[in-house]
Structure 1
Amino acid sequence: MKKRPSKIFKDTVITLVYAIVAATIIRLFVFETMMVPTGSMIPTINIGDRLFIEKITFQAREPEIGEITVFWTPFRDERAQQMLRAFDKFMDLFSPKEFKGHVKYVKRLVAKEGDVITLKLVDGKWKLFVNGEIPENLRDVNYLPEGVFEYPELWNYLDKASRLRNNQTEYRKFLYELALKKGSKFANIVFSIVGGMEPVKYGIPYYEYVDKYLKPKNINFEDYIWKKNGQVFVKIPNGFYFFMGDNSRESLDSRYFGFVPKEAVIGRPILRIWPLKNFGPVQPIGIK
């Protein structure tokens, strides 16, 4: 006996509803995808790669040092938002409430809470030392002493600049005085990150991150960054991680924006699904 059209329509709708509910549950708790908009992890991960992210593992354990990790930015990265495609914007509608309007970054975890890190030259290459040693999983990765390792006061100035960003007159004055005081290179770094006016219209409203994640925990940057014998040291506060990109010269990472709260971690990329010619697993260095 043939089904009536109304019955077929009803069954189809029910099936679609079940499929949407199942897909939403999977998206929220098990898997999701991301498109990589920058080259911060080259050659490990390339611009335009689409990654399949597994979320279960980091619900059972913390990421390990050296492990590639995907996390929500603890601030709104307006520039990266402009680079997202329609599919990514749609999927991010399912993002947690506290990260609405944020984007995903993929970097390598290099330090956890309580760790003290610094960069030193070893055989002509800059290596990251964690608690006085180079972690086994980071021995093959080289970094540059930029960002906070070059300018220990950087994060404080990002906070100050971002609070003036909506007042163009005061913002321009601040950047001009900063260039006179700290040099044009430092002022340009602050402007390139904070943005807010031509030719860098989009950027990071950094003060939102400070007010939401640091001030409630009474975290002051100067308590966690110090210089000794010309060496800059950074201590990771409780409840935070420190991430860096493999392509150190082109990576906007914790050297520039600071500590990442643990709750921002999403999962680990396990599969590159696009482009098809590079389809395959994403293998973190030294992580099995």
Structure 2
Amino acid sequence: MKKSPKEIAKEVVITLLYAIVAATIIRLFVFETMLVPTGSMIPTINIGDRLFIEKITYQAREPEIGEIVVFWTPFRDERAEQMLRAFDKFMDLFAPSKFKGHVKYVKRLVAKEGDIITLKNVDGNWKLFVNGKVPENLKNVNYQPDGIFKYPNLWKYLDQASRLRDNKTEYRNFLYNIALKNGAELANTIFSIIGGMYPVPYGIPYHEYVDEYLKPKNVDFDDYVWTENGQVYIKIPEGFYFFMGDNSKESLDSRYFGFVPKEAVIGRPILRIWPFQSFGPVQPLPKLNN
């Protein structure tokens, strides 16, 4: 019996609804994508790469040191939000409620809870030492002793500056006093991250991250960052990770913004799907336990 146009239209609508539900489930629990807006992971990952992220592996186990991980920023990165394209904004509508308005970062995991890290100059290259040794997966990566490794009070200053950002006069005075006390470079670093005034109208409201993730767990910066014989040491609190970009000179990473809560982890970038000429795997597949 031939179906009527109305019946055909109804079947098409039902099929589309099933497809949308299936796609939503896959997006929420299995796979998603991200567009890389910066060069923090060059040469492994480049500006404009679109990555395919699988979310199953880290539901079964924790990420390992040396793995490249995609995570939600635990703060609102207002500049990165301006760089998102329409497709990414639409896909992020499915983000967990606590990360609405946040963006994705892709970095390499370099330390986990309980680890103590520091940067040391080894034959002219700065290497990350984790619990007294350079992890095998990080031996070929060189880092810059910037951010918290250069200014042990950076995170505290970011918190203070962020709370003053809406009061332009107090904010300017704060930055001015930092420049007098610690030098213009530190003041410029704080301003470049927090933003809030011309020529950097957008930035990171850092105090929101401190109030939501650190204070409830009694994480005080002074308990986790210290200096011994001129060497800066950092201990990773329980429930947090420390991420850094391979392109250390151009990476806004944990050296600058601090610890990332475990719940912010999304998954593993496994495939570069754009540009087509660079199509292929981003990092090796995880090893399966026998």
TM-score interval, normalised by the smaller of the two chains: over 0.9
The C-alpha deviation readout for 1:121-174, integer Å capped at 9, x for no partner, is 111100000000000000010001000000000000000000011111111111
Q: How many Å separate the matches in 2 of 1:15 and 1:182?
A: 63
Q: How many Å separate the matches in 2 of 1:108 and 1:134?
A: 14
Q: How many Å separate the matches in 1 of 2:5 and 2:192?
A: 60
Q: How many Å separate the matches in 2 of 1:117 and 1:221?
A: 15
Question: Per-residue deviation at 1:34?
Answer: 0.1
Which SS does the other structure have where 1:242 is aligned? strand
Question: Per-residue deviation at 1:186?
Answer: 0.3
What's 1:130 paired with?
130
TM-score (norm 2): 0.98
Q: How many Å separate the matches in 2 of 1:117 and 1:99?
A: 28
Which SS does the other structure have where 1:76 is aligned? coil
What's 1:120 paired with?
120
Q: How many Å separate the matches in 2 of 1:177 and 1:115?
A: 34
The C-alpha deviation readout for 1:7-47, integer Å capped at 9, x for no partner, is 01100110011000000000000000000000000000000
What's 1:69 paired with?
69
The C-alpha deviation readout for 1:74-93, integer Å capped at 9, x for no partner, is 00000000000000000000
Which SS does the other structure have where 1:129 is aligned? strand
TM-score (norm 1): 0.98
Which SS does the other structure have where 1:43 is aligned? coil
What's 2:163 paired with?
163
Q: How many Å separate the matches in 2 of 1:159 and 1:216?
A: 15
Which SS does the other structure have where 1:179 is aligned? helix
CA contact (8 A) 1:67 1:287 kept: no
Structure 2 residue identity aligned to 1:24: T
Structure 1: gaps (5+ residues): none
What's 1:176 paired with?
176
Q: Percent identity?
A: 79
The C-alpha deviation readout for 1:74-127, integer Å capped at 9, x for no partner, is 000000000000000000000000000000000000000000000001111000
Measured at CA, do residues 221 and 255 of structure 1 come closer, stay the same or move farther in structure 2, by a change above 3 Å? same
> Structure 1 stretches (4+) deviating beyond 3 angstroms?
none
Question: Per-residue deviation at 1:283?
Answer: 1.6
Question: Per-residue deviation at 1:183?
Answer: 0.7
Which SS does the other structure have where 1:272 is aligned? strand
- Residue 51 of structure 2 is aligned to residue 58 of structure 1: no
Total equivalences in the alignment: 287
Q: RMSD of aligned C-alpha atoms?
A: 1.0
